[in-house]
Structure 1
Amino acid sequence: MNPELLKELVTMKMPFGKYQGKLLCDLPEHYLVWYHSKGFPAGKLGMLLHTLYEIKLNGLEYLLQPLKQGR
């Protein structure tokens, strides 16, 4: 996994929708599950949201903790 992707998950904010302005890493799991069922947006945002979905689905949030603390 690309470490730059993980850094973006803890620094990039959701650009639109119900959770606009919230850090991607702080999006609730049910929101990511909804996107998974409806389809992730195109481009980089969709790739990041899909990555975050996989991280949360597999219980790997601990990978983001050091990055969250370091920002």
Structure 2
Amino acid sequence: MTRKYIDCREFPSAMNCSVALSADSENELLEAAVQHAITVHGHTDSAELRAQLRTLFHDGTPPVDAPRHA
């Protein structure tokens, strides 16, 4: 099984969030990413948010030096 990750550094944000999350399953990663999006970025849990987050998953683990967008 390949790990999955999502990395906030890939997306522009007023707070310049540098959090990257990874997990062994898409479901585990989705739950962590939803909680992060809600508590840190102020999003509301919805089917649309969950669908959008799933499209941002990558295989593997986050790179140490991901490009930052300002």
Q: Going by fraction, where is strand more abundant, 1 or 2?
A: 2
TM over 0.5: no
Higher relative contact order (CA 8 A, sep 6+): 2
Q: Going by fraction, where is helix more abundant, 1 or 2?
A: 1
TM superposition score normalised by structure 1: 0.31
